[in-house]
Amino acid sequence: MSTLFRHFAVVIAALAASVALAQPPPQRGTLEERVAALEAGLASLDTRFGLERTRPGEDAGQTEVALAGRVQALERSIERLAIDVQRAQRAADDAARAAGAAQRDAERAMREATLRR
C-alpha cells in the first residue's frame, strides 16, 4: 500500500510540475509600464498604511494628530503631482515645438531638392 501511495505522490508531483512548466512566462511590459505598475502598488500600500495609522484608538487626541499628519502628507503629494504635471506639460510643449521645427526643416529640404532638379 505504501508503494502505491508513493507512486501516486510521484505522479501527482510530476503532473503539477508539468502544468507549472507548461504555462507561458509572465508578460513583462515596457520599463514605463512596469514602473507605473510599481508606482500604483506603492500608492495603494501607502494609502492602506495611512489608513491603518489613522484608525480610531483609545485616545481621540492621537487620532486627530494622525489625521492632521495624513492630511499634510496628502497635500505634499498633491503639490508634487502638480509639479510633475507642469513638467510633463512643458515637455509636451517642447516636443511639439521640436516636431514643428523638424517639419519645417523637412519641407524646406524638399523645396530645395525640387529646385535643384
In a domain, 7, yes or no: no
Asked if the structure places residue 92 within a domain, the reply is yes
Structural domain count, the chain: 1
pLDDT of 33:
77
15 vs 1, 2, 6, CA distance in Å?
A: 21, 20, 14
Would residue 41 count as lying in a domain? Answer: yes
Distance CA 38, CA 53 (A): 22
Give domain status of residue 89, yes or no: yes
* Structural domain containing residue 48: 34-116
Q: Is residue 97 part of a domain?
A: yes
Q: What is 16-78 written as a DSSP string?
A: HHHHHHHSPPPPP--HHHHHHHHHHHHHHHHHHHHHHHTS--S-HHHHHHHHHHHHHHHHHHH
**What is the reported pLDDT for 70?**
85
Q: What's this model's pTM, rounded to 2 decimal places?
A: 0.41
Q: In this structure, is residue 26 part of a structural domain?
A: no
pLDDT value at position 100? 93
23 lies in a domain? no
Give 32-65 pLDDT, tens digit per residue: 777 777 777 777 777 766 666 555 555 556 677 8
Residue 16 lies in a domain: no
